[in-house]
Structure 1
Amino acid sequence: MEFCRQCNHMLYPVENKNERRLDMMCKNCEFTETAKNNCVYVHHITEKEEEKSISWKDVHFDLTLPRTFNAKCTRCDYTEAVYKQVKYSDSVSLFCVCANPGCGHHWKET
């Protein structure tokens, strides 16, 4: 974050179309200087393996996902399930969700 040398307000990135460069401008006093860095915003994404888990909400409606008819739900005994392979840093796991719209139970195949 950069601040104006004249009034100490925050500087905002603006495009200088004439000179094809990024400038920083104060919205208070209109002081302008060339940006020291062309990067305006950085978004770092960090995920823990637990956060990579799948959202299983309404997946039983998605007909593009693979299905099996040999899995038996432990909650409702329904035999159809939607499944997805999830790769972690050192292993691959198979997750299933019951295709019964009233159930939605999900489990990890062992």
Structure 2
Amino acid sequence: MSTMNFCGKCNNILYIKEDRDLKILLYSCRYCEQQVIADSSCVYRKEIHPYVGESTQALQDVSRDSTLPRTKSVRCSQCNQGEAVFYQKKLEGVEGMTLFFICCNPTCSHEWRD
């Protein structure tokens, strides 16, 4: 992992610099000109961690979202409302896309999947 390095003489930050003739990376101080050979060729590293607690929890206002498609061919099992918003999502370990429905009744907002 890359870390910040500081000059041994003046305690300022050492910046990455390349020596094109020797083809090596150096850490160089911009104030006192001290140079140190980099111990690794890694200059920057970004780690991406997947969101572990991902859930299908719907936002309360999603039924009012005019950009999502709606259907009147399903009924909510909680309140018997005849309209729902729907979207597709790929679930881990499931082949193909899964269809999710959210009840358009603002007091219900029940979510289920097909």
Q: Mapping of 1:79-90 within 5 angstroms?
A: 79-88=82-91, 90=94
Residue in 2 that maps onto 1:102: 107
Structure 1 SS opposite 2:63: helix
Residue in 1 that maps onto 2:8: 6
Q: RMSD of the TM alignment (CA)?
A: 3.5
Change (3 A) 1:12 1:88: farther
Residue in 2 that maps onto 1:44: 48
TM-aligned CA deviation for residue 107 of structure 1? 0.3
What is the CA–CA distance in structure 2 between the aligned matches of 1:55 and 1:32, rounded to whole Å?
Answer: 55
**Structure 2-normalised TM-score?**
0.59
TM-aligned CA deviation for residue 11 of structure 1? 3.8
Larger Rg: 2
Change (3 A) 1:43 1:11: farther
What is the CA–CA distance in structure 2 between the aligned matches of 1:76 and 1:38, rounded to whole Å?
Answer: 57
TM-aligned CA deviation for residue 42 of structure 1? 1.7
Aligned residues: 98
Structure 2 SS opposite 1:93: strand
What is the CA–CA distance in structure 2 between the aligned matches of 1:102 and 1:30, rounded to whole Å?
Answer: 68
What is the CA–CA distance in structure 2 between the aligned matches of 1:70 and 1:99, rounded to whole Å?
Answer: 13
Q: What runs of 5+ residues in structure 1 fail to find an aligned partner?
A: 14-23
TM-aligned CA deviation for residue 5 of structure 1? 3.4
The C-alpha deviation readout for 1:40-83, integer Å capped at 9, x for no partner, is: 562414245x72x4452111110110000011101100010000
**Structure 1-normalised TM-score?**
0.61
Conserved in 2, the CA contact under 8 Å of 1:25 and 1:32? Answer: yes
User: Paired residue for 1:93, among 98, 105, 110?
Assistant: 98
